[in-house]
Amino acid sequence: MDTRRLRLLLALSRLGSMRAVADAFSLTTSTVSQQLAALAKETDTQLIEPDGRRVRLTPAGRRLADHAVTILAAVDAARLDLDPDAEPAGTLRVGGFATGLRVSLLPILRELGRTHPSVEVEISEYEPLEAFELLVDDDLDLALTYEYDLAPASPDPVLEAFPLWSTPWGLGVPSSEVTAGTATADIRNYADRWWIVNSRNTADEDAVRTLASLAGFRPRIAHQIDSLDLLEDLILEGFGVGLLPITRAVRDGVTVMPMSDPKVVLTAFAVVRRGRSTWPPLRLVLDRLRPPDGRPVPLMSWPRPTVHGSG
């Protein structure tokens, strides 16, 4: 099978139309159709079928598209692994959330500037869903992303992830509302309050809605804020409550209360396209980012705490 044709089939499975595939690869729809017809002849299997004025993959076409993920990743790995001992050189495109970039990436960049000056790193800030899309489109080489245990991520199967670190989150509330001796937040006490969530990523809103559902109420989402500093300002002024990392220092007047049954834990990941991790500049950074065992863990199979509670 021609791997270029496999790429077109995989793109059709994602994009859903010949026109979209043609635009993505700067081809005509006629060329895309001819290449997929040739692939069907190579496999001696019908891969697409009419669907109104469009086409869709047959069950065999969907199975081959699933195989294409692994096949194309292996081809990419072979190309990038031809000279694994070469001195790392080139531009590494990294995107991710601000805390991940600050905590995980910046410390190793100082070292790389001294030891590997031929490796340049371009840094952009993205929320996980944005970064996943850019990785799939091959517009990023490495993404630093996160997920909450109550809101697992669902990345494309062409991606693989390496867990980096985890940190507990709590409920940020005005300090004036915290009574002496209160050890953990009782979410039910905030059923009638406005809630503050992230504006560019739905993960913390999903976590808030899950917490509220387990406590028996539907949260009133009032504000969508990316900046944790601004979130603290809103809490301090009485405009709502929201999730904040327990380990983060907060300003006077704001208290972050731990939660239990269930807890909320954020886990950070390094995410790359499957088969690309042997590219020397990327390998250089991954080796410094990874935990000691260094094993890739698919996001959806990363062990999660059991959630207890009733609503």
Q: Which tokens is 89 given?
A: 């050189």
Number of domains in the chain: 3
The one-letter code for the residue type at 94 is V
* Distance between CA atoms of residues 252 and 237, nearest Å: 12
Is residue 294 pLDDT above 50, yes or no? Answer: no
Instruction: Indicate if 272 and 158 belong to the same structural domain.
Output: yes
Instruction: Indicate if 172 and 238 belong to the same structural domain.
Output: yes
* Distance between CA atoms of residues 95 and 92, nearest Å: 10
Instruction: Indicate if 216 and 287 belong to the same structural domain.
Output: no
pTM: 0.69
* Distance between CA atoms of residues 245 and 239, nearest Å: 19
More confident residue, 261 or 121: 121
Instruction: Indicate if 110 and 123 belong to the same structural domain.
Output: yes
Kindly tell me the burial class for residue 280, based on how many C-beta atoms sit within 10 Å of its own C-beta (0-12, 13-18, 19 or more): buried
Q: Over the chain, what is the mean pLDDT?
A: 86
Note the pLDDT of residue 308: 33
More confident residue, 12 or 277: 12
Instruction: Indicate if 190 and 210 belong to the same structural domain.
Output: yes
Range of the domain at 290: 90-165+266-301
**Residue-wise pLDDT tens digits, 64-112:** 999 998 888 888 767 765 665 667 778 899 999 998 999 899 989 888 8
How far from 250 is each of 13, 228, 230, CA to CA, in Å? 46, 9, 11
Note the pLDDT of residue 12: 93
Instruction: Indicate if 52 and 188 belong to the same structural domain.
Output: no
Residue 306 lies in a domain: no
Question: What's phi and psi for 185, nearest 5 deg?
Answer: -80, 135
**Residue-wise pLDDT tens digits, 168-182:** 999 999 999 888 777
Residue 242 lies in a domain: yes
CATH of the domain at 170: 3.40.190.10
